[in-house]
């Protein structure tokens, strides 16, 4: 096996300079994403482009409140990406629930379920604030501080326990099987 440690500064520079964002717009923050990409606050200057595939992204923006139903998808999308990947939580809701502090159906601390590297406060944050957060994340990647993917790997039992506590044991299988009875009923109706 080749020892790649010598190339690590080059790799860190490349990771910093080409963060691809997965287009996963949760909640109201989704409307703050297009201004970032378009001509006024052009984020492609820093090599950041939106990419619809969960296999290719490096940066996961959680833009707004997270319900348990969305959390399942967020966890699956997070686990699908290959390893150096970072999460940037954007707005007050992923931080501590925000205005949904007494809602039965909003996640209060996103950090308990997936590791977050940078939080941006605000409801909604200005695009400048998001740019500032991304700049901070770039600095952390350069120095090796941004290690959410490493934390997820090392403390997987803790994250898994929290996820199972909230969503119930075996939620992946249950979610996949949820539509099968409904589809079967539909097929029967068509036959009759």
Partner 1 sequence: MLEAFLKALLIILYATFVGFMFMGIIRKVTARIHRRIGPPIYQPIIDTIKFFSKKENITHGVIYDFGIIFALGATILALMFIPLGGVSILRAYGDLILITFLLEIPMLGIMFAAMSSGNPYAGIGAQRALLTLLAIQVPLGFAIVALAEYYGTFSTYEIVMAQQIHGWSIFHLPLLLAAIAYDIVLQAMFGKEPFDIMIAPGEISLGPMVEFGGKHMGILQIQHAIGLFAETLFFSNIFLGGAVVMTFASPILNTLATLVILLIKQLAVLLIAIFISTIFPRFTIDQAARFYWKWPTIIAALGAILASL
> How many chain residues interact with partner 1 (CB under 8 A)?
27
Q: Check residue 9 for interaction with partner 1 (CB under 8 A).
A: no
Of 9, 11, 34, 168, the one binding partner 1 (CB under 8 A) is 11
- Give CA separation, 10 vs 5, 6, 15, 66, 79, in Å: 10, 9, 9, 35, 25
Q: How far is the CB of 2 from partner 1 (least distance, A)?
A: 12
CB of 51 to partner 1, least distance (A): 7
Residues of span 56-85 touching partner 1 by CB under 8 A: 56, 58, 81-84
Using an 8 Å Cβ cutoff, are 84 and 15 in contact? Answer: yes
Cβ 36 to partner 1 shortest distance, Å: 11
Choose the stretch contacting partner 1; rule: CB under 8 A; options: 8-16, 68-76, 91-99, 166-174. Answer: 8-16
Q: Which of 28, 35, 51, 166 binds partner 1 (CB under 8 A)?
A: 51
Q: Do residues 88 and 134 lie in contact, with contact meaning Cβ atoms separated by under 8 Å?
A: yes
Residues within the interface to partner 1 (CB under 8 A):
4, 7, 10-11, 14-15, 17-18, 20, 23, 38-39, 42, 44-47, 51-53, 55-56, 58, 81-84
């Amino acid at each position: 096996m080749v020892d790649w440690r010598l190339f690590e500064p080059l790799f860190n520079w490349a990771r910093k300079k080409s963060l691809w964002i997965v287009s996963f717009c949760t909640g109201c923050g989704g409307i703050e994403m297009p201004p970032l990409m378009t001509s006024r606050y052009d984020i492609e200057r820093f090599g950041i482009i939106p990419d619809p595939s969960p296999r290719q992204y490096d940066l996961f923006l959680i833009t707004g409140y997270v319900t348990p139903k969305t959390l399942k998808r967020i966890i699956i999308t997070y686990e699908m990406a290959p390893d150096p990947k970072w999460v940037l939580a954007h707005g007050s809701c992923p931080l501590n629930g925000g205005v949904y502090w007494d809602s039965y159906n909003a996640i209060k601390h996103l950090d308990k379920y997936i590791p977050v590297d940078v939080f941006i406060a605000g409801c909604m944050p200005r695009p400048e604030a998001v740019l500032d957060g991304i700049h901070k994340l770039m600095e952390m990647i350069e120095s090796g501080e941004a290690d959410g993917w490493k934390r997820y790997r090392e403390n997987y039992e803790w994250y898994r326990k929290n996820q199972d506590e909230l969503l119930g044991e075996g939620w992946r299988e249950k979610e996949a099987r949820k539509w099968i009875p409904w589809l079967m009923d539909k097929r029967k109706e068509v036959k009759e």
